[in-house]
Amino acid sequence: MNELYDNSPKAERALLVGVESDQLGSREAASLLRELSGLASSLGVEPVTTMMVKLRERTANLLLGSGKADEIVAAAKADNVDSIIFDHPLSPIQQRNWEKLSGLKVYDRAELIIKIFSARALTREAGLQVELARLEYALPRLAHSYEDLSRQRGGRYGTKGSGEQKIELDRRSIERRIHELKEELKDVRKSRDVQRKRRQRLLLPRAAIVGYTNAGKSSLLNAMTRAEVVAEDKLFATLDPTTRRLSLGSGASLLLTDTVGFVRNLPHGLVEAFKATLEEASSADLLIQVVDGADPERERQMTTTRQVLSEIGAGSLSHILVFNKADLADPETLAEWRRTHPEGIPVSAKTGQGLEALAARIEEELSSDMQELSLLIPHARYALIPLIHREGVVLEEKGGEEGTLVRCKMPSRLLARFAEFIV
């Protein structure tokens, strides 16, 4: 009886379409289609079935030929789905034509990722960034996007109210809102810069955890610093950077930041929108690249991570390669990892395996650029001595009439701070 009055929202059912082309081989296309399925599930969309099509000749109106388009629509209706999601960019005209042809919602990978980001954004900055990317993407798609657009500040995909009113925002109002968002983001980023400069004044080294989405970055931060960052088994579970202090075995400390995960074919607008998050990686002293060791696509994911790091100017930074989820990997996979990436460290954020070895490697990397110095610290500046002990390696310390003579190894980032005391 209860089933007759079940008003709970039903999950969107989707047909996923992968596209193979001369530029994208069948293996890579199949890999991307599997990832698209994971992205859909992350949003709560049920991937009912998948299809792979060969793009032999592009058409302006539907991307594919009419025969293949009819085949896709027939499959969608046979499986009674609510939407068709393409793992290939659709132009605004193509998207509208597909919706007219099928009578269903039709969108591409870029719009799916924007919807995920919109659903995950929790802070004001993330909400502004996502709304900006969403409006810039939707601007040329007004014909089918009215129900998704809203004047409500910080409005997100999936919320009730303004989105359901189907207010038709014309181009001028959207462009005005985009301008407002950019101005608001300038203020938010100024505040972030102030916070970053405060951390830099602590003179603590900074490390950023980077990697593909769902590689276990937040879990690793939680395991190493006892933080309480959201860590779920889904793509893009967290978007906002979180920084925590990590104490190392020698008594030294560093600031460890979890960053947003990378993904193949990330919409350009989101890359731009989340530059503030990615800046945490480009301004770090050390990168900790986390790889899902149990994922068969890990090599491709590592390649994507390196490409994105290069794009944001962090490709040449020192980094440590971490093979996470080692507890889930079979012996053959672990053996292959050790053979192909002997510099990597197998860990498990879940069980704690390898975390001590990782902390030791972090300490080793941070001390690799140390220079040996002799410093004469005046008595009036004796407060600097604990900093030298904390951030450097003291080889000899001797008191005198003029001050304390310290022979030590000092990280390069602190040389300017102690330049006036070098003897």
Distance CA 165, CA 175 (A): 20
Distance CA 132, CA 272 (A): 10
Distance CA 282, CA 207 (A): 10
Q: pTM of the entire structure? A: 0.71
Query: Which SS3 state, helix, strand or coil, does residue 327 take?
Result: coil
For residue 97, the number of C-alpha atoms closer than 13 Å in the C-beta half-sphere is 15
Query: Could you list the pLDDT tens digit for every one of the 423 residues in the chain?
Result: 444 444 556 789 999 999 999 888 898 899 899 989 989 998 899 999 999 999 988 899 999 999 999 999 999 999 999 999 999 999 989 999 999 999 999 999 989 988 888 877 777 777 888 888 888 887 777 644 444 444 333 444 444 444 444 445 567 888 889 899 989 888 887 877 776 666 555 567 888 899 888 888 888 998 998 877 655 555 665 566 778 888 877 667 788 888 877 888 776 666 665 555 666 677 788 899 999 988 888 898 898 888 888 877 777 888 899 999 999 989 999 999 999 999 999 999 999 999 999 999 998 887 777 788 899 999 999 888 888 887 777 888 998 889 999 998 888 778 888 999 998
> Beta strands of 293-402 (E only): which ranges?
319-324, 345-346, 371-378, 393-399
Query: Which SS3 state, helix, strand or coil, does residue 363 take?
Result: helix
**What is the predicted pLDDT for the residue at 106?**
95
Task: Output the CA–CA distances (angstroms, integers) from residue 71 to 68, 76, 147, in the order listed.
Answer: 5, 9, 28
DSSP code string of 50-97: EEEEE-SS-BTTTBS-HHHHHHHHHHHHHTT-SEEEESS---HHHHHH
Distance CA 93, CA 177 (A): 24
Question: In the 8-state DSSP scheme, what is residue 317?
Answer: S
Domain 203-367 belongs in CATH node 3.30.413.10? no
Could you read off the pLDDT of 120-129 as tens digits, one per residue?
A: 777 777 788 8
Could you read off the pLDDT of 276-315 as tens digits, one per residue?
A: 566 667 778 889 999 998 888 889 889 888 888 887 777 7
Distance CA 228, CA 273 (A): 25
β 242-247/253-258 pair status = antiparallel
Task: Output the CA–CA distances (angstroms, integers) from residue 172 to 28, 135, 150, 175, 308, in the order listed.
Answer: 40, 12, 13, 5, 33
Could you read off the pLDDT of 89-121 as tens digits, one per residue?
A: 999 899 999 999 999 999 999 899 888 888 777
Domain 11-109 belongs in CATH node 3.40.50.11060? yes
H or E segment and range at residue 287: strand 286-292
Amino acid code (one letter) for 341: H
Assess contact for 87 and 18: CB atoms under 8 A: yes
Assess contact for 285 and 239: CB atoms under 8 A: no
Amino acid code (one letter) for 49: T
Domain residue limits, the chain: 11-109, 121-187, 203-367, 371-421
Could you read off the pLDDT of 241-290 as tens digits, one per residue?
A: 778 888 877 667 788 888 877 888 776 666 665 555 666 677 788 899 99
**Nearest residue to 316 via CA among 336, 338, 286:** 286
Amino acid code (one letter) for 191: S
